[in-house]
Amino acid sequence: MPVLQSYIAGQWLGSTAAKALPSAINGDIIAHTHDESIDFSQVVDYGRHQGLSSLLALDFQQRAAILKALAAYIQERKEELYEISHHTGCTRADSWIDIEGGFGTLFTYASTGRKELPSGNVAHEGPVTQLGKNNHFNGTHILVPRRGVCVHINAFNFPIWGMLEKFAPAFLAGMPCIVKPATATSYVAEAAVRIINDSGLLPDGALQLIIGGTGDLLDRLEEQDFVTFTGSANTALKLKSHPNILARSIPFNAEADSLNSAILAPDVTPDDEEFAIFAKEVVKEMTAKAGQKCTAIRRVLVPDEHVDAMADRIKERLSRIVAGDPKEEGVRMGALSSDDQLRDVRDAIGQLLETSECVFGRSEGFKPVGKGVENGAFIAPHLLINRNPRQDGGAHDIEAFGPVATLMPYNGIEEALRLAAKGKGSLVTTLTTKNPAIAAEMIPVLAAQHGRLQILDAEAAKESTGHGSPLPMLKHGGPGRAGGGEELGGIRAVHHYLQRTAIQGSPTMVAAVTREYVRGAKVIENDVHPFRRHFDDLQVGESLLTHRRTVTEADIVNFGCLSGDHFYMHFDDIAARKTQFGQRIAHGYFVLSAAAGLFVYPGEGPVLANYGLDTLRFITPVAPGDTIRARLTCKRKIDQGRASPDGHPQGVVMWDVAVTNQEDELVASYDILTLVAKQK
């Protein structure tokens, strides 16, 4: 059997067999860990020097482009990963979550980086705050790479997605990653890293892989480094209490085991479609990945009067589940990941039976299908009922990390909320209700102790991704027992890996650091209209102060007739006098259109399209007789590596527009987004 290898300092290490790793399906040995010791000082030094150097030679946009290309490369070779993932006990659908969810997350973060991060390695987190009366002193925040390494200690249940959902935002943030997968399924993670390495897309030192233990790795970390962990709450506590982690205040993000709930609201009866939807969701979460998901439903809260009817619905669905070798036709649930995991789940079920009764799942008659499955880590789905869930303990404290859920009756919304809270902090809860008023009452209370909440009804069920599916654009994590950390959440995950720093200085200095024009900063004025300059030549701060235009009553009337906007403030002189403005005023959108007429260059040029406005505010009203002018300034340039449909390269330029009146008062303020052609 092959010996798994660590990938450190640009080399594969390992040739001597150590621990045997069996298939969860039939017990055959799939691979061995390696016996060679790892020099963790070399690992950290390589990441901190070679990795950082190669990553910071790129900017946010370039790293986003690499993520996109890497996702496409893994997608092309996904069948290799499906084949080896089968040995972890996964059905094709289970492996889809891990494999396609993994490279799908890379695609998502590639898009997130392209849309939301600038060129360069400084992200401006505005707005700028004026700190001096005359705008000579400003303050704002920037986000910059931490210039450290990131250690990811991952769980056994998602060896690919668990690695890539952490790697993607860390890579975007410019942090070299040292990945330590759980040993039981490390053969899948190693296969994925080999594919990644084969792509040749990652800069040297961006990703290192550790097979086996972490040795003295945590002792070698410094203040700029970062540690993430997914696994049990006990292990999370042990790791984040490491003396070096505490002494150096090294950021530690934990995602721990979680006693998640599903709540059937009291308005749903057995005759409702939502009743069947709820039962289906519970069974899906019990059997997907054989219940080995940190987001799986562990506690099923149902009104007293419906608990037995719900038990019958769930049992009926569970009775149709065929377990066994996922390659056998008709199999819908695979095995637990290992014999160790099987022992742990059986022990946890035994503890749960001290407070609950088993209504489905006794071993009698449970026969997984397939050759050699008697040596696999199979277990029947178990549905328990705790008739007295008001007491502490039982399923409120014990997690059987497998196909196990406990029904709990409740009496009234207040009690349902109290029972959900007994999980002491959870990753996710699903509330199934038909009544928006019930959702509005319960969700804000549940939100205090949960990282994510799904509201499920017949409409949402048509497209729901499911209770147990973390999505890249939404936060994954939860308070309390769930670890108190956050992952994913779109751009938020990238920000977690960056250092946020407040900066103060003159507008010109702040603009220089942020690479973004700040009102009051020095501008660049010349004889060439900014709209005539290509993306390559345009400089942040290039500006045009337009000629003036006096607004007339005819302007207001003509704009109202053209737009159909005959609001009284523009047309009813008597009514307008009674308002705070004391007179008729021009349409805000007329001011916007008139300003465009002042600064737009009408001839053919490199500005290709205006695709939106941001931060639009109408500040001072414009009345007939007022004279306006506009200042157009290049605020930000973002080189996304984009091209037009016919192949011509282009970049994104944001323009700051300030419209003032004859008193130099700001009347309108906004940003314009344009596509601008490159010369090359």
Cβ within 8 Å of residue 356, ≥6 positions away: 384, 385, 386, 387, 394, 395, 406
Q: Strand, helix or coil at 517?
A: coil
- Neighbour tally for 232: CB within 10 Å: 17
Amino acid identity at 543: S
Q: Two tokens at 141?
A: 């925040």
124 backbone φψ class: left, alpha, beta (φ>0; ψ -120 to 50): beta
- Gap between the Cα atoms of 259 and 427, Å rounded: 8
- Nearest CA to 135 among 521, 615, 619, 629? 521
Strand 450-456 and strand 426-432: the pairing is parallel
Q: Which helix (H) or strand (E) holds 591?
A: helix 588-599
7 class by beta-carbon count within 10 Å (0-12 exposed, 13-18 middle, 19+ buried): buried
Residue 182: how many CA atoms within 13 Å on its side-chain side? 21
- Gap between the Cα atoms of 281 and 259, Å rounded: 16
Q: Strand, helix or coil at 594?
A: helix
- Neighbour tally for 629: CB within 10 Å: 20
- Gap between the Cα atoms of 13 and 21, Å rounded: 18
Q: Two tokens at 576?
A: 């307008």
- Nearest CA to 240 among 250, 426, 496, 44? 250
34 class by beta-carbon count within 10 Å (0-12 exposed, 13-18 middle, 19+ buried): buried
- Output the furthest CA–CA distance in the chain (Å, rounded): 92
Cβ within 8 Å of residue 340, ≥6 positions away: 184
Q: Cβ(352)–Cβ(399) under 8 Å?
A: no
What does the buried/exposed string (b/e) look like for 326-354 if buried means 16 or more CB atoms within 10 Å of the residue's CB? beeeebebbbbbbbebbebbeebbeebee
Q: Which helix (H) or strand (E) holds 672?
A: strand 666-677
Strand 260-264 and strand 297-303: the pairing is parallel
Residue numbers annotated as active site: 255, 294
- Gap between the Cα atoms of 339 and 263, Å rounded: 32
Amino acid identity at 524: I
What does the buried/exposed string (b/e) look like for 118-130 if buried means 16 or more CB atoms within 10 Å of the residue's CB? bbbbbbbeeebeb
- Nearest CA to 199 among 69, 23, 334? 69
